[in-house]
Chain A
Amino acid sequence: MAYVQSAQLNTSGTSAALAYVSNNTVNNLLLLAVRVGSASDILTSVTDSAGNTWTLAKKQTFSGDHFFYVYYMGACLAGANTVTVSVSSSVTIRLAILEYNDFAAGGAALDQVNSAQGTSNAPNSGNITTTVATELLFCGVSISTASGFTAGTNFTEREEVAQKISTEDRAVTSIGTYSGSWTIDLGSDSWACIIATFMAAATITRVSSTIILNAVQRAANW
């Protein structure tokens, strides 16, 4: 579960389209973190040119200021790809797109999500507890007033967009309780923060198979 590439765009308007720098590799995990400068939930669609279907992992508002979203595509198609975000009225749109690999043949599956909002210099997503040992922790934060960010301990910052968004990630190898955190370099600010964790989709298949076999065994015993 390793970082491959990322890109960023900072614009005003009703739609924003951003291309991956290099072609996506089949079954990789694609992620989108987008901050929409509206107090209302006006994001209408996330699409891409490769034909992937994007799913909302979590959205979080800082009440009265902006909305922050994390979308994902667990097992992408191969090739050149442009991600397009559309909103229903003209506002600021800040987004980062990322690609991660090494989730094995089935791609990645969403495991845990959490989010929070607050006002401080230390955004925190709130805790999640992973369900398998090897997972990717992906975290994003959006703030109201432009500032630099310092990523949390053991996290690597990947994209910082217009000093309004930061994304960070961490690959973990043991089940545990984790959260995403940052320090806002310019001090206290209003923030919205999201954590989403991803595991190999094949892990889910194996768990399901075990449950089915157990059920069959129990039926046989009866």
Chain B
Amino acid sequence: MATTTVIPGGTYQKGSANLGPAIVPVGLVFVRLEFDITLFTETDRAIAFSLEISYDNGITWRFLAGATQPGGTFVDDEGLRQTKGFFEARLPEPTNVARQVRGTITITGGVFLTLGGTLTTN
């Protein structure tokens, strides 16, 4: 699987952080963000993602997808506590050479650890 890392790993502080913009290579169809939630146990914490896409080299932008995850226990489909939260959206127009993505992470309640994000082919 070909992947391109577009979001730097690291610790994001309380408040908003802008991500990108990043050029999306032709053929890549998914953007995935993963974030470490091992220290993310306080219920007064939350992380919100907002992702936008441009089809014209960043001249115009359109909202693509977003999600919010609060602190506290996150369980997967099997009822097991997970150490990584995730956010994965499909990127339209895979043959468009002028695609870019950018995003915003908004942290409330405290420091948050993230593992960064990737663009993937499938």
Q: Which residues of A contact B (CB under 8 A)?
A: 7-19, 21, 37, 39, 65-66, 80, 82, 90-93, 144, 162, 164
Contacts and interface: CB of A to CB of B under 8 A. Distances in A.
A161 to B, nearest CB: 9
A9 B88 CA distance: 6
Interface of A is mostly: strand
Contacts of B88: 9-11, 162
Say which size band chain B's interface belongs to. 20 to 34
Interface string B39-68: 000000000000000000000001111111
22 contacts: A7-B92, A9-B87, A10-B89, A11-B67, A11-B69, A11-B89, A12-B69, A12-B74, A12-B82, A13-B85, A14-B69, A17-B67, A19-B64, A37-B75, A80-B62, A82-B63, A90-B70, A90-B73, A90-B75, A92-B77, A93-B67, A162-B88
A11 B73 CA distance: 15
B72 interface: yes
Which of B62, B64, B77: most chain A Cβ within 10 A? Answer: B77
A92 B73 CA distance: 12
B56 to A, nearest CB: 14
Interface of B is mostly: strand
Contacts, number: 80
A152 B68 CA distance: 35
A38 B68 CA distance: 17
B67 A15 contact: yes
Given A9-B88, A10-B87, A12-B86, 4 more contacts: A11-B87, A12-B67, A13-B70, A19-B65
B69 A17 contact: no
B86 A11 contact: yes
A213 to B, nearest CB: 48
Contact of A12 (B63, B87, B92): B87
B92 A21 contact: yes
A19 B62 contact: yes
Nearest to A6: B90
Contacts of B72: 90
